[in-house]
Amino acid sequence: MPTASTSSTASSTASPSTSAALPGNPRDALVERVQRAVNDVSYPAHPRTLIDAATQAHAGPDVLDALQRLPDEAFGGFAEVSASIVAGLDKRAEPRRDASP
């Protein structure tokens, strides 16, 4: 009899877009869309290469915006791209501290 972990692995493999459908998980959904848009890129790659690939893949404006915000450096793989995107999103989500009393 299969274990619960085996069947959950199979179901997550069968529907890779599940995380995009979960409410409250827009960051993961964006990262997933970026990954699909740059799937054919060879690494190391600079942001311009990633942006060009996403443009050719007809990626949405949110994907292109995320790629345009990347620092101008060579990324060794998609894990580095993803980490940079998430860090940028987290930084923008921080509450602003204004000087008003």
Q: Which residue has the higher pLDDT, 99 or 27?
A: 27
- CA nearest 37: which of 86, 81, 94, 75? 81
Average pLDDT taken over every residue of the chain: 81
20-56 pLDDT tens trace: 445 558 899 999 999 999 999 999 999 999 999 999 9
pLDDT score at 78:
98
How far does Cα 64 stand from its chain's mean position? 11
Domain parsing of the chain, residue ranges: 23-34+43-94
pLDDT score at 33:
97
Cα–Cα dist 29/45, whole Å: 22
Say if residues 46 and 80 touch (Cβ distance below 8 Å): no
In sequence order, what are the beta bridge partners of 45?
A: 75
58-98 pLDDT tens trace: 999 999 999 999 999 999 999 999 999 999 988 887 776 66
Say if residues 67 and 34 touch (Cβ distance below 8 Å): yes
- Its pTM stands at 0.69
- CA nearest 31: which of 93, 87, 95? 87
